[in-house]
Amino acid sequence: MPTAPRVRQGMTLGLVFGAVLFAGAASGAWGEPVRSLRAPSSSDAATPAPDLSGADLSPQEARQLVGASGDRWAAYLSPQQYADLTGGRYAGVGLTVDRAAGGPTEVAEVQPGSPADRAGIAAGDRLVTVDGVPAEQLPVTELVSRLRGGPAGSTVALAVAAGPGPVRELTLARAELAAREVEVERPHPGVVRIAVHAFTEGVGEQVRAAAAGARGVVLDLRGNSGGLVEEAVATASVFLDGGPVASYQAHGERRELAAAAGGDTAVPLVVLVDGGTMSAAELLAGALQDRSRAVLVGGRTFGKGTVQQPSRLADGSVLELTVGRYQTPAGRSPDGTGVQPDVPAAGEDPAALALKVLDGIGGPDGATPGTTAAPAGAAAP
């Protein structure tokens, strides 16, 4: 098991997805993610939670507090679970699932070498039941919780079917898996597509390295359930030269999040979003849209605009409790409404559409067709 990273007690913010976000509801990120078009109620977490840093609570007391809080995004994490969350590791079976509105729950991706992969589960298979409960009857957070549900070595019972084929019943033992937060591909010369599945430690620097020297960037935030807000801000800093990223209220105090100076404001940038783009990923997408730095392509984002702050308890475990809601630089709150794309996919392949839009706003040659290329360092329109 990895050594727990240093955590700034009471300071590091996690814009996390629900009470089981530690399970990683991100596409290919912390395992067992689910994309859902169901937006949370804007009435969630109306009362900011107190800062319980240093409180001497037993695990049972902490879990009872979470259950009684009425905060749908609250979570209790053991020291190792929090270290794994922020460091990009998780215990699971290696499934990424996709649920369209009103449709079945399908396997979107299987992590190579994972328990699901060894069991022969493949992308496109239908997830029928989890621990005997029909997948379609489970809310997003409960589905993720059941798929994670325990440490490495614990088991989960699944029923899956390939197309119209017979249903297979499997019992898989969870394993400790390394998350793949950032994936990079180069679909055309000079163009880089950077898929960010979750914001764990070091993601901002990975994005910076991947974007270096590119003449066009597609930042793919589809299925990204959020994570550490400081890493979302670090990612914004890759493409912004200072200025606001978001603001939020916590315990009656307004706090500002700002990009670092010196980002690349010239490279053409398209951001892919969908119903699985949540929380800190929505913060990032909204900031780039408000700052006229990127064109958003795809579908409306999830609509989680609340802020959770970790409170490190006396035994090293962590309580994630909602402290407020954030706003984009233009004063918008995505809570319950999401962020709308500039260019809806509307039945077209979003990845292909993103490349078309990128070409239209500058493309790999840095110039819109029929215009002269902007000089290096020029601000994006």
User: Catalytic residue numbers?
Assistant: 279, 304
Sign of CA dihedral 312, 224, 303, 158: negative
> Which residues neighbour 35 within 8 Å (Cβ) at sequence distance 6 or greater?
27, 97, 98, 99, 108, 222, 223, 274, 275, 276
Helices (DSSP H) in the chain: which residue ranges?
Answer: 59-68, 79-87, 115-118, 140-148, 203-211, 229-239, 280-290, 350-361
Distance CA 198, CA 91 (A): 16
Nearest one of 186, 180, 287 to 232, comparing CA atoms: 287
Cα dihedral 149/153/157/160 (nearest 10):
100
**DSSP letter assigned to residue 342:** S
Q: Give yes or no for a contact between 140 and 171, defined as CB atoms under 8 angstroms apart.
A: no
Task: Tell me the two tokens of residue 355.
Answer: 């490349």
Helix count (H) and strand count (E) of the chain? 8, 22
* Count of other CB atoms within 10 angstroms of residue 381: 10
**Amino acid present at 218:** V
